[in-house]
Amino acid sequence: MTLTHPDTARTALPAQTTYQSRVADYWNAEENPVNLELGRIDDLYHHHYGIGDADRSVLNEPDPGRRRERITGELHRLEHAQAELLASHLGDLSPADRVFDAGCGRGGGSVVAHLRYGCRADGVTISAKQADFANEQARRRGIDTKVRYHHRNMLDTGFTTGAYAASWNNESTMYVELDLLFAEHSRLLRRGGRYVTITGCYNDAYGRASREVSLINAHYICDIHPRSAYFRAMAAHRLVPVHVEDLTEAALPYWELRREAEHLVTGIEDTFLQAYRNGSFQYLLIVADRV
Ligand code: GPP
Ligand code: MG
């Protein structure tokens, strides 16, 4: 047997893996009311969950239309609180700074960062439809010269080395290999730059991925990493954690309210609650310095 092959025997590799294409298909087709109806409230379209205490009095609203509206508004408030928490950890940014939003979805997170710091933002999504949607939103807001969305692979952005003061993944790390991801963040961030992620990870003190974690993986076509993998991969790529916060408790009220929102449920709500409550799954904030 020989280990060398003539070039002609090489198999052509696709620019995008089969897995990545399936993920793109999912997001190109996705139109969940829980994302679109919440986003419509103030044109901030988020693709992450919420944190903090919920005002459950919205459930007692007697008028059915108004009840739906108030529940939608409360869930959006909790998702917005999550986005603001992430943005608050990006460091002292100025309008001259540039930030990178890895897995930007329909764009809400980059707008939040821009409104907070005046910074420029580049969001990247593997879904052409999401990038178009997000760019149209930025145009309507009149911030499209500052906030741009790109249909690209977050592992291989082609953006300029060292050009970014901060970067983040808001619930998008579970779609990629962490070593490849942190290599790209590390390349894009300047020394002293900030990296932030809010993510769901499985708790390896509990063991391997639980049934609930596997169900979440199947629901979103993702591959949730163990908690330990984050710290190993960050250490290997010059990202040193400065703040780690377990947001699991803070995530429960969102899911408890969302499971009662008949007009918005997607069917994954009870699985999240079970996964968080049985200890197999954690909602984690990790803030790291690029050294
Ligand atoms: C939510 O997006 C996040 C993901 C799909 C990634 C998986 C996250 C984990 C923490 C495991 P979304 O807002 O589009 O989801 P949904 O449609 O359920 O609201
Ligand atoms: Mg959502």
Q: What is the pLDDT of residues 25-43, one digit of tens each?
A: 999 999 999 999 999 999 9
Surface-to-core class of residue 58, CB atoms within 10 Å of its CB (0-12 exposed, 13-18 middle, 19+ buried):
buried
Q: Which tokens go with 121?
A: 């933002």
Does position 10 have pLDDT exceeding 90, yes or no?
A: no
Percentage of the chain beyond pLDDT 70 is 97
* Ligand 1 atom nearest to 105, measured from its CA: 14
Query: Which residues sit with their C-beta closer than 6 Å to ligand 1?
Result: 32, 34-35, 47-48, 171, 174, 200, 216, 220, 222, 224, 266, 268
Question: What mean pLDDT comes out for the span 243-270?
Answer: 98
Return the pLDDT at 1: 54
The pLDDT score that the predictor gives to residue 8 is 59
Whether the Cβ atoms of residue 103 and residue 125 lie closer than 8 Å to each other: yes
Please determine, for residue 244, whether its predicted confidence score (pLDDT) is greater than 70: yes
CA of 141 from ligand 1 middle (Å) equals 25
Per-residue pLDDT, 13:
75
Could you confirm whether domain 19-290 is CATH 3.30.450.20? Answer: no
Among 133, 171, 197, 223, which residue has the most ligand 1 atoms within 8 Å of its CB, making it the best to mutate?
171
Average pLDDT over residues 11-20: 84
